[in-house]
Amino acid sequence: MSVGIDEISFYTSNYFLDLKNLAMVQEIDPDKYYQGIGQEKMGMPAPDEDVVTMAANAALPLVERVGTDAISTVMFATETGIDQSKSAGVYVHRLLGLTSRCRVVELKQACYSATAAIQMACALVARQPEKKVLVIASDVARYDLGTSGEATQGCGAVAMLIAASPRLVELDPEVGNHTEDVMDFWRPNYRSTALVDGKYSTKIYLQSLKHAWEHFCEVSSLAFNDFQHFCYHLPFTRMAQKAHKHLARINRSALSPELLDLQVEDTLLYNRIIGNSYTASMYIGLASLLENCKQNLAGKRVGFFSYGSGSVAEFFSGKIVAGYEKYLHGDRHQTMLEARSEVSYEEYLELYNDTDPVDGGVHTKTEGTTGRFRLVGISHHKREYIAC
């Protein structure tokens, strides 16, 4: 029985900052961002938006199609936790009207945890093939102002249905892993922004790719040349281009730099204008590939490299299913991205400083969120969400 990704939908905030405006304030060449890290814009959540509202917005179209009874489990991957105990997914469960017989759990390991969720979801589906698992990844990437990470902020959520006989991607069971206790990027409980050793994190990312790939090669009969496309974790799009050339060198590939770029190019389009969305990043990259690749991808094999700082990495693979193009949400995604509002640098600072409300805080503004769900405020230490 094949198991994999049956449907994919994502959501990002209405607001973005063009990185040329950040470069102007910093008095540096905008090409450091446009070319050097390969990012043009970064998404900023509205004050009445958080990982819950973004997740519910991403998942709603899937639940509307498949119905609530089909979903046995919600797995919510995030590193932007809103509560130390309660899963953010339980709020989403209510907002989506899922049944009380659907289990919900939150998973954390930096940007990697959505991949762990997918692997566990595949095992659940194998046990109960008539049911589907809803995997949601939702994050807000925040760094301190004036740090090297600032230009790599962003926000977004992706929702995927994991099912038997999937309509988009059949996942192969063999995976390669690499786990190592390193301090390249982390966020202690008392901070709302991440700490990062930027250059070191890129080095660990590449080393982890090599180790995860080596493990993958030990357990899988697939080789580098069996893949037509590669989806990498996307902290910024240049990282994927560098990683892919690194993997090609390890495999002594004879492909030209141009052909190697083509193998990742279509995965980068959305992230370039959304920014890092941590757990959601690589899967928004997958949506970008499926929705923008001009060739028919049916039967093509895709390699995935998922990386979460700290660090856990996984290389896995999948095959695109014939007819996949009928089940995409590309038009809706394009409309959402084109309808976003650009903010000035001053407005960006206002959004940046308008952090999560404390107890008693209420968001009276409704002009922020354009999605269906909003965070109304926090009362008696309880978060209140509504559907608009």
Query: Residue of minimal CB distance from ligand HMG?
Result: 36
The reply on whether position 32 binds ligand HMG by CB under 6 A is yes
242 assigned ligand-binding residue: yes
Amino acid symbol at 142: R
Name 161's Cβ contacts closer than 8 Å, sequence gap at least 6. 5, 6, 7, 8, 62, 66, 71, 132, 133, 134, 135
Tell me which of 80, 276, 277, 306 binds ligand HMG, using CB under 6 A.
276
User: Is residue 37 within the footprint of ligand HMG (CB under 6 A)?
Assistant: yes
Strands 15-18 and 341-342: parallel
Does residue 276 have a known ligand-binding role? yes
String of DSSP letters for 182-203: --SEE--TT-SSBEE-HHHHHH
86 is in an annotated binding site: no
Residues facing residue 71 across a β-bridge: 132
Binding status of residue 211 toward ligand HMG by CB under 6 A: no
Q: Where are the alpha helices (DSSP H) in the chain?
A: 19-26, 31, 51-66, 88-95, 113-127, 198-219, 237-250, 257-265, 269-274, 281-292, 330-338, 345-353
Rounded least distance, CB 307 to ligand HMG, Å? 5
To the nearest whole angstrom, how small is the minimum distance from the Cβ of residue 79 to ligand HMG?
5
Nearby residues of 163 by Cβ (< 8 Å), 6 or more positions away: 3, 4, 6, 125, 132, 133
Stretch that binds ligand HMG, among 24-32, 154-162, 169-177, 320-328 (CB under 6 A): 24-32
Residue span binding ligand HMG (CB under 6 A) among the ranges 172-180, 194-202, 335-343, 368-376: 194-202
Q: Which two tokens stand for residue 76?
A: 């919510």
Q: In the structure encoding, which two tokens stand for residue 66, read together?
A: 């498949």
Q: Is 76 exposed, middle or buried (0-12, 13-18, 19+ CB in 10 A)?
A: buried
50 lies in the binding site for ligand HMG (CB under 6 A): no
Q: Which is nearer to ligand HMG, 31 or 359 (CB)?
A: 31
Quick one: which segment of 117-125, 235-243, 255-263, 376-384 binds ligand HMG (CB under 6 A)?
Answer: 235-243
Of 80, 138, 152, 263, the one binding ligand HMG by CB under 6 A: 152
Distance CA 5, CA 8 (A): 7
| Cβ proximity to ligand HMG, 236 vs 385, nearer residue | 236
How far is 56 from 357, CA to CA, in rounded Å? 20
**Maximum distance among all Cα pairs of the chain, rounded to whole angstroms:** 62
Q: Which among 4-12, 28-36, 172-180, 212-220 is the span making contact with ligand HMG, rule CB under 6 A?
A: 28-36
Per rule CB under 6 A, is residue 192 in the interface with ligand HMG? no
Residue of 11, 76, 91, 185 that binds ligand HMG (CB under 6 A)? 185
Distance (Å, whole) CA 388 – CA 372: 5
Comparison of 149 and 156: residue with beta carbon closer to ligand HMG: 149
Could you tell me which residues come within 8 angstroms of residue 67 by beta carbon, excluding any fewer than 6 positions away? none
Q: Note the residues at the interface with ligand HMG (CB under 6 A).
A: 29, 31-32, 35-37, 79, 110-111, 148-149, 152, 184-185, 196, 198-199, 201-202, 205, 233, 235-236, 239, 276, 278, 307-309
Q: Residues annotated as binding site?
A: 29, 143, 242, 276
Annotated binding site for (3S)-3-hydroxy-3-methylglutaryl-CoA: 29, 143, 242, 276
